[in-house]
Amino acid sequence: DLLLDRLNLDGYWPRDGWLPDAAWLQSFDSNLRVSIERMDLRETPATDVELDLSLVAGAATIRQASVGEYAGASFALTGKLEARDKKFGYDLSLQGSGPDYQRILRTLGLDRGPLDRQIFGPFALSGGGSGDAESMPVLLERIARDTKVEPR
């Protein structure tokens, strides 16, 4: 178990905004439980971040990945992510809600992508998906396509 009071990811996150290809999943094995009081990403604080996962032979089982608050919204993710010949295999479930859908899209730099559904104000989202993706951006785009977003 690892407890952190603060982590600034902006200094470590790749400049293009995405993780490398799926090969990084095969570089180590681990059981990891992390609680972070405050984590900065894209110059915005996230609070009450929880991560509970196992990583074995290129397969990550995400028991819990949650954010209590980021740009006003909260999120939870569970499922599996695995390396398959430099692709990501995934079976993920995503839940989230917040007071301002467009704010979270702008903060994450996704306001011109597949999640922009012209929803303004409070929202709830649920979805996820399964399959293979060539890169993290493709994986996120497929999850976005299969995620239902509704005004609240």
In sequence order, what DSSP letters do the residues of 27-54 get, joined into one string? S--EEEEEEEEEEEETTEEEEEEEEEEE
For position 133, what pLDDT does the model report? 80
CA dihedral 116, 45, 11, 142 (to 10 degrees): -30
The token pair at 93 is 């479930």
Contact 74, 66 (CB under 8 A): yes
pLDDT digits (tens, 9 = 90+) for 80-117: 988 887 788 889 999 999 999 889 888 887 776 666 67
Place of tokens 């819990």: 64
pLDDT digits (tens, 9 = 90+) for 44-89: 999 999 999 999 988 999 999 999 999 999 999 999 988 887 788 8
Q: Quick one: pLDDT band at residue 2, thresholds 50, 70, 90?
A: confident
Q: Quick one: pLDDT band at residue 33, thresholds 50, 70, 90?
A: very high
Give the residue, 43 or 27, on which the prediction is more confident.
Answer: 43
For position 114, what pLDDT does the model report? 63
For position 139, what pLDDT does the model report? 72
Please tell me the distance from the alpha carbon of residue 49 to that of residue 12, in angstroms, as a whole number: 17
Give the residue, 25 or 98, on which the prediction is more confident.
Answer: 98
Prediction pTM value: 0.82
Beta bridge partners of 95: 76, 126
